[in-house]
């Protein structure tokens, strides 16, 4: 395991440690990790093409895609598959046994960003992943105190790849931040379970609300990939995604009317946090790309905190009247 000082850095480092820059001209990224990665590598001058896989892609889709890559690029190496589990509460990327097997068959390393699922509800290494990355700033800290990131993999991978980068580039976190995050791990299970219980209750309440036109919550039977959730996760999520009609103006009225939840791009905190992805986390994407992801101007991401679920439901219900 490697501890680093920032969440995006762990994903970038896991990526760099998995590729040979001299012969890599093609790469594969699941939809959620598109954000920031294409810009990062283009600015750095890497010749890497990102193939964005839909959240709802079937095993056969992955199989055909990987075959197409290897047949088309005969001399290149498909070195890495990136998969994110709860792509900003819009959908669940495929990270099942079949995808891992397909990646390994093509010489790829399967890296999973498991931050939205948390280690409490899903353990990708047991599902066939090679590397797991976390933004420890989210649930692991859980109180907005410090930044951090974690890379989990085999001892050999960490020693042969990650430690070399750490020694040469110096991204290690401070001892104090490391101590804070270790203390956060002691209460992680309690916090995530309570947050998930609240998020599930909120999802049920919002599903019946007339102002909500669409609801996404992986713990519900009406989630488009409920079968995948049941197969590989032990619980739902601390995040709820929902859409209100009226676009950005209506969404902003809801956000501004909330009394308990704070507007922020963070998640997994002890305090409930609400985000408008179209103007924050996904604002750099084109409207067409956001529409493909299911992120409309009226889409809102809610991260349940440790407040009482009844208070959160009351707060959201009152705010929705402003939509």
Structure confidence at residue 54 as a pLDDT band (50, 70, 90) = low
**What pLDDT does 98 receive?**
61
Average pLDDT score over residue span 3-23: 56
**Out of 6-15, 207-216, 240-249, least confident range:** 6-15
User: Is the pLDDT reported for residue 218 higher than 80?
Assistant: yes
Instruction: Return the SS3 of 176.
Output: helix
pLDDT tens sequence across 261-303:
999 989 999 999 999 999 998 887 788 878 877 889 999 999 9
Measured CA distances, 38 to 27, 44, 49, 135 (Å) = 11, 10, 8, 19
Cβ(263)–Cβ(134) below 8 Å: no
Structure confidence at residue 46 as a pLDDT band (50, 70, 90) = low
**Out of 45-59, 209-223, 302-316, least confident range:** 45-59
**What pLDDT does 71 receive?**
31
Ordered domains of the chain (ranges, CATH): 2-176 (3.40.640.10), 188-320 (3.90.1150.10)
User: Is the pLDDT reported for residue 65 higher than 80?
Assistant: no
pLDDT tens sequence across 127-172:
878 888 888 999 999 999 998 888 888 999 888 888 877 777 777 7
Cβ(35)–Cβ(284) below 8 Å: yes
What is the average pLDDT score of the chain?
A: 78
Distance CA 239, CA 248 (A): 20
* Structure letter (DSSP) for residue 313: H
**Out of 65-79, 179-193, 298-312, least confident range:** 65-79
Sheet holding 109-113, edge to edge: 2-4, 149-152, 131-135, 109-113, 80-84, 27-30, 50-53
Average pLDDT score over residue span 33-44: 55
User: Is the pLDDT reported for residue 1 higher than 80?
Assistant: no
**What pLDDT does 81 receive?**
47
In percent, the amount of the chain with pLDDT more than 70 equals: 67
Buried b vs exposed e over 130-162: b needs ≥16 C-beta within 10 Å? bbbbbbbbbbbbbeeebbbbbbbbeeebbeebb
What phi, psi does 178 have (nearest 5°)?
-60, -40
User: Is the pLDDT reported for residue 213 higher than 90?
Assistant: yes
Write out the DSSP string of 42-102: HHHT----EEEEPTT--HHHHHHHHHHHHHH-TTS---EEEEESBGGGS-B---SHHHHHH
User: Is the pLDDT reported for residue 63 higher than 70?
Assistant: no
Distance CA 190, CA 44 (A): 41
**What pLDDT does 62 receive?**
65
Distance CA 90, CA 243 (A): 11
222, burial (CB in 10 Å: exposed 0-12, middle 13-18, buried 19+)? exposed
* Nearest by Cα to 14 from 132, 189, 128, 183: 132
* Nearest by Cα to 259 from 192, 323, 318, 200: 318
Structure confidence at residue 67 as a pLDDT band (50, 70, 90) = low
**Better pLDDT: 110 or 13:** 110
Counting Cα atoms < 13 Å in the Cβ hemisphere of 142 gives 24
**Better pLDDT: 242 or 19:** 242
Distance CA 94, CA 110 (A): 11
Structure confidence at residue 256 as a pLDDT band (50, 70, 90) = very high
């Amino acid at each position: 395991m490697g501890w680093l000082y920032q969440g995006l850095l762990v994903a970038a480092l896991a990526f760099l440690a998995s590729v040979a820059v001299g012969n890599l001209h093609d790469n594969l990224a699941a939809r959620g990790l598109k954000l920031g990665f294409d810009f990062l590598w283009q600015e750095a001058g890497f010749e890497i093409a990102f193939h964005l896989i839909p959240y709802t892609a079937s095993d056969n889709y992955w199989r055909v895609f990987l075959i197409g890559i290897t047949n088309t690029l005969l001399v290149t190496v498909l070195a890495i598959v990136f998969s994110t589990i709860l792509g900003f509460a819009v959908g669940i990327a495929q990270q099942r046994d079949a995808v891992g097997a397909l990646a390994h068959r093509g010489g790829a390393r399967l890296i999973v960003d498991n931050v939205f699922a948390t280690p409490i509800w899903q353990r990708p290494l047991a599902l066939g992943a090679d590397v797991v990355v976390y933004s420890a700033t989210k649930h692991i800290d859980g109180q907005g105190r410090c930044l951090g990131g974690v890379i989990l993999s085999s001892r050999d991978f960490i020693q042969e790849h990650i430690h070399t980068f750490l020694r040469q580039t110096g991204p290690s976190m401070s001892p104090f931040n490391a101590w804070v995050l270790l203390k956060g791990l002691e209460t992680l299970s309690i916090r995530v379970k309570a947050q998930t219980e609240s998020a599930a209750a909120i999802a049920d309440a919002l599903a019946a609300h007339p102002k909500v036109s669409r609801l996404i919550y992986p713990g519900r039977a009406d989630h488009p990939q409920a079968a995948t959730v049941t197969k590989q996760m032990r619980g739902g999520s601390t995040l709820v995604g929902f859409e209100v009609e009226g676009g950005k103006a209506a969404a902003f009225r809801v956000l501004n009317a909330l009394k308990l939840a704070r507007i922020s791009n963070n998640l997994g905190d002890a305090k409930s946090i609400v985000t408008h992805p179209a103007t924050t986390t996904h604002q750099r994407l084109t409207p067409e790309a956001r529409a493909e992801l299911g992120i409309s101007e009226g889409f809102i991401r809610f991260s349940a905190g440790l407040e009482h679920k009844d208070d959160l439901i009351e707060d959201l219900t009152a705010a929705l009247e402003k939509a």
